[in-house]
Amino acid sequence: MSDNVKENIKSPATWSRALIMLLFVFIYQVAEIVLAAVVVLQLLVVIFSGEPNVRLLRFGQDLGTFIYQTVRFLTYNSEDRPFPFGDWPQATPG
């Protein structure tokens, strides 16, 4: 093994990131379930009222942004940790 690999394996930062990534894999899976529930609920609201619920629109947008931030963190495209380590994303439906 090269010295660089040994250093990376022994690095506390590597293991810290790995543990946080495992946590976010779990959070991501929960977020997918919540997203499915929002989709079904919004569909039911539209069927019965004829128009989407504004709160669900806003939450769906925020949830989509959160999922995007999580994927970016998990794939090393960002070092910014998503919620709950950072702020919950706030977006306007659009």
Q: Quote the CA–CA distance of 21 and 73 in Å, as a whole number.
A: 8
Q: In whole angstroms, give the CA distance from residue 39 to residue 52.
A: 11
Of the pLDDT bands very low, low, confident and very high (cuts 50, 70, 90), residue 92 is: low
Distance (Å, rounded) from C-alpha 67 to C-alpha 78? 13
Tell me the three state secondary structure of residue 84.
Answer: coil
Predicted pLDDT at 1: 63
Tell which residue, 54, 67, 62, 59, has the closest CA to residue 38.
59
Predicted TM-score (pTM) of this structure: 0.84
Judged on CB neighbours under 10 Å (0-12, 13-18, 19+), 21 is middle
pLDDT-derived band at 84 (thresholds 50, 70, 90) equals confident
- Whole-angstrom Cα Rg for the chain: 18
Per-residue pLDDT tens digits for 3-58: 788 887 888 888 999 999 999 999 999 999 999 999 999 999 999 999 999 999 99
